[in-house]
Amino acid sequence: MLNADLEAMAEQVAELILESKRIVVFTGAGISTESGIPDFRGKDGIWTKMDPEDFTIQRFIARPEVRKMQWKMLAEGGLVKDVKPNAAHYAIAELEKLGRLDCIVTQNIDNLHQLAGNSPGIVFELHGNMQFVRCLGCHRRWPMAEILARLAVEELPVCEHCRGILKPDAVFFGESLPQAVLSEAARRAAQSDLCIVIGSTLVVYPAAQIPVYACDAGAKLVIINIGATPMDSKAAVRIEGKAGETMTAVINYVKKKMSKGSY
């Protein structure tokens, strides 16, 4: 349960939502940690247990043993284990159902926004999606589960069409972000009138530029995050709190105000 100050701020966010016409939600690792997914850079993050160099595109392509290591990790449930959306994901999905959401721009690769009920067409995944696999040769795409099933008989799966290297469809170090996705996310941010940042430290670029585009275009900014961000001073409302309970309170206020016919 939120304390009185946080409740008041959640109500402020609800009022901003109801006053806005084009809302962009920007999410980072902090929303998914509440589903049990570890972040990458925290003190117990993934990079404290693995060598980030093994996740460069150069090493992945050049070294079969690195690819084998990653496929073994994926087969054992690493990074794509059976996680479920949390209250924050469901609250954002509710925003769409209420007709209050233009799009989601996410740094996450876990597919949880779609699992929570958001339309895939309005989820812009800047860093890809670990639920899919892509061939680096012919660029065909498969569900991750389909490729993992092949690991029972193949130590190192390759593309059945061109024998190319198969890679999880997430952005590795040394790879560019998907340009079409980034461009559309930037365009929508620049046309928004409210940007809600949830669970991002806003230090990973170019993804963190999205809220900047929104602010530069005159949009109001809300930040919900545990820990400071470089954009805190620009926020109309800055909430230091958990994503799930905060967004649940926000949506409850939105519904309450809508039911009274005030908006």
187 with 163, same domain: the answer is no
27 with 43, same domain: the answer is no
Q: Give pLDDT, residue 40.
A: 56
Of 140, 170, 200, the residue at which a domain comes to its end is 170
Model confidence pLDDT, tens digit, residues 68-99 = 988 988 888 765 567 899 999 999 999 999 99
Of 119, 147, 170, the residue at which a domain comes to its end is 170
Rounded to the nearest integer, the mean pLDDT of the chain is 91
CATH of the domain at 204: 3.40.50.1220
Helices 243-259, 4-19: inter-axial angle, 10-degree rounding: 60
- CA nearest 31: which of 255, 241, 236, 251? 241
- Which is catalytic among the residues 89, 113, 127, 139? 127
103 with 227, same domain: the answer is yes
Q: Give pLDDT, residue 77.
A: 73
pTM over 0.95: no
148 with 252, same domain: the answer is no
C-alpha count within 13 angstroms, C-beta hemisphere, residue 63: 13
Of 146, 170, 194, the residue at which a domain comes to its end is 170
188 with 229, same domain: the answer is yes
CATH of the domain at 160: 3.30.1600.10
Q: What is the C-alpha to C-alpha distance for residues 238 and 217, in angstroms, rounded to an integer?
A: 19
Model confidence pLDDT, tens digit, residues 44-59 = 555 445 566 778 999 9
102 with 194, same domain: the answer is yes
181 with 122, same domain: the answer is yes
Taking 50 as the pLDDT cut, the residues of the chain under it are: 47-48
Q: Where are the alpha helices (DSSP H) in the chain?
A: 4-19, 29-32, 57-62, 64-75, 87-97, 112-116, 144-150, 179-190, 209-216, 243-259
One-letter identity of residue 176? S
163 with 249, same domain: the answer is no
Q: Give pLDDT, residue 263.
A: 63
155 with 242, same domain: the answer is no
22 with 61, same domain: the answer is no
157 with 252, same domain: the answer is no
Q: Give pLDDT, residue 32.
A: 93
151 with 28, same domain: the answer is no
Q: Give pLDDT, residue 80.
A: 55
The residue range of the domain holding 77 is 38-82+130-170
Counting the structural domains of the chain, the total is 2
Can 127 be counted among the known catalytic residues? yes
